[in-house]
A and B are shown apart, each in its own frame.
Chain A
């Protein structure tokens, strides 16, 4: 029996996956970097948000924006100081993967150093912190907000990439970096900008998910592999693909426990293998689609 709550929960899980996967996908699509530390960014976003709420200002929305921007700055700094050095290497993509994996460890340990290894949880903002009963099942109203925000990000990002000048530069650079450089695009700055944007989205995902889950240092490691699955299924660089992939996995996570059977948690990985073998470019196209 699938209740309305199951669907809402699935979509809200998908929303949080989307926010992390879309940044990951964008960065890969434009820079060619598979950012292993993206899960760490997501976790960091949740922690900064919690810290701002408990130490600075007791307003969830302000704290979430601060959290997202702080992660963006961290991401841009990492791109600027480390990843940038690797673009010209022959096997740069593997070196980038290893370096970003190094940052997984650094972020994880830094968070543990500052906030400890316990877990934290907060309530959703008061306005939305009430239960909705629909068709016999109950869920928190904040989940609807989380879904709405994910859709807003999807639309906003799509408009940004397809309708703005910066977006056209991004698309151009992603398809031919040398040509873009020859046409006068400041590629290094554009790269830092895209990395910043992708990191902000991950941080925002972490911030918005903080009321829906326990925030602990393990959060990043748990979510990054799922985000990889989403990006592979949706297609590297595809915004709409990330959305569809995220919602698919979210629904699977929500409904899975009801139809538990041996091997069910293996299905996403099996799907990842099959898509990589048959359609390595993903089920959807590239940037801007």
Chain B
């Protein structure tokens, strides 16, 4: 059924790749099922078992979109997880213990995600959580995380409100358990406004998905343009539903408004579909500049229509910048393994495992509150560069925007030239000017 219908929450748990053979998994399933039947006929109650101890593997739970229009994000994250896991386990694991990851499908639905995460914590007794692709899902999940009292490292979902402490804004749901290792919409769109500053364009429009992420992108963009003094008029906006399938009417409506430039946060298969249909409607001839705020995350893994060269796109991680040993070796090894450049989803998930490794080793165990203490204010370094967790648990990573260029060597689109805009707390607050939107950092 469609996205967002999740009423009772389905649990398409996918086993994190190579660990636990399916045989073991299904016998566990059967045992638990019998327990359930037992409980319902009042034959007694089985206690929680396993996990959380000091020996045996460390189990982490992850929740990503593994089915539907945005499944490619989950697939990328799974690669990053698998890659990090095998690297960690080959090099002595975490404090000598192997790490296992259980990956579950959120189906891009908050309801389902909550049930999956609850099941990971209460059924599988995981030691830590990470993941999430969708802002709407993250917003619904964050309050639950503080109830479960388990650290959650968001690796992709971008809404600033999950790293804005509850009470700061009416939509803020940030709390001490929720962290984010990737850049937020507030950071990303700051970069978009900086790009807009340089462009010869005054009339701006947007076409984005019909939920928080689409609207927030547009709100922040307008606020930044205002704060940075960018001369811009905002002339048209379209918010088609997720998984629309046919964007032509919306495309046509934007073209009729004839803006100079468009900022689009469409993502997943929706973006691929949009690009194909925009091309045949003459979009890229008519509109001078199109800024794809989630562009590279979709462009690299998708085999559909690529983003046309010369347009602008952002990423939360660039495989070439910073030009450090860590980043270069990560890119080379990843390319060797999968034959594609790493996307930011893969890198964010990859880094989450290393963040847990560092926190667990430093805390000397997997006690959730000790891990939360470790993550709080942690300084860390990974392929994306050096960064620190801010007061609101947001990584102080840069906003990365560049021009889409096809690269023959890597046989895919890359950002070249690419700009990194530092997007720390002070920069963002200042750029937001008088707006009441939180910087989320």
List chain A positions with a Cβ less than 8 A from chain B. Answer: 1, 3, 5-6, 9-10, 13, 108, 112, 116-119, 121, 129, 131, 133, 137-140, 212-216, 218-219, 221-222, 253-258, 260
Q: Which residues of A contact B246 (CB under 8 A)?
A: 13, 212-214
Indicate which residue in B72, B245, B248, B280 contacts A131 across the interface (CB closer than 8 Å).
Answer: B280
Indicate which residue in B72, B269, B286 contacts A214 across the interface (CB closer than 8 Å).
Answer: B269
Are A213 and B2 in touch, CB under 8 angstroms?
Answer: no
Are A218 and B256 in touch, CB under 8 angstroms?
Answer: no
Having A10-B249, A213-B245, A260-B238, one finds 10 other A-B pairs with CB under 8 Å, namely A5-B255, A6-B253, A121-B276, A133-B282, A138-B282, A139-B281, A216-B68, A216-B69, A218-B68, A257-B252
Are A121 and B304 in touch, CB under 8 angstroms?
Answer: yes
Alpha-carbon distance A264/B37, docked complex (angstroms): 48
Indicate which residue in A10, A140, A219 contacts B245 across the interface (CB closer than 8 Å).
Answer: A219
Alpha-carbon distance A173/B240, docked complex (angstroms): 44
Q: Which residues of A contact B68 (CB under 8 A)?
A: 117, 216, 218
Q: Which residues of B contact A222 (CB under 8 A)?
A: 2, 243, 245
Q: Which residues of B contact A6 (CB under 8 A)?
A: 249, 252-253, 256
**Smallest CB–CB gap between A198 and chain B, Å?**
23
Chain B minimum-CB-distance residue to A141: B280
Chain A minimum-CB-distance residue to B305: A121
Task: Judge whether B235 is part of the interface by a CB distance below 8 angstroms.
Answer: no
Alpha-carbon distance A260/B254, docked complex (angstroms): 12
Q: Which residues of B contact A119 (CB under 8 A)?
A: 69, 243, 245, 269, 272-273
List chain B positions with a Cβ less than 8 A from chain A. Answer: 1-3, 67-69, 71-72, 238, 240, 243, 245-246, 248-250, 252-253, 255-256, 269-270, 272-273, 276, 280-282, 286, 304-305
Are A218 and B273 in touch, CB under 8 angstroms?
Answer: no
Q: Which residues of B contact A218 (CB under 8 A)?
A: 2-3, 68-69, 243, 245
Q: Which residues of A contact B240 (CB under 8 A)?
A: 257
**Smallest CB–CB gap between A227 and chain B, Å?**
15
Indicate which residue in B2, B253, B272 contacts A258 across the interface (CB closer than 8 Å).
Answer: B253
**Smallest CB–CB gap between B388 and chain A, Å?**
37
Alpha-carbon distance A134/B230, docked complex (angstroms): 35
Are B253 and A257 in touch, CB under 8 angstroms?
Answer: yes
Indicate which residue in B243, B252, B304 contacts A5 across the interface (CB closer than 8 Å).
Answer: B252
Contact A257 to B281, CB < 8 A, known contacts A118-B72, A121-B304, A221-B1: no
Q: Which residues of B contact A1 (CB under 8 A)?
A: 256
Chain B minimum-CB-distance residue to A257: B253
Chosen A-B contacts, 12 in total, with CB atoms closer than 8 Å, are A3-B252, A5-B252, A121-B304, A121-B305, A138-B286, A139-B248, A139-B252, A215-B245, A218-B68, A219-B245, A222-B245, A260-B238
Alpha-carbon distance A44/B252, docked complex (angstroms): 28
Chain A minimum-CB-distance residue to B239: A260
Q: Which residues of B contact A216 (CB under 8 A)?
A: 68-69, 243, 245, 269
Are B2 and A253 in touch, CB under 8 angstroms?
Answer: no
Are B256 and A253 in touch, CB under 8 angstroms?
Answer: no
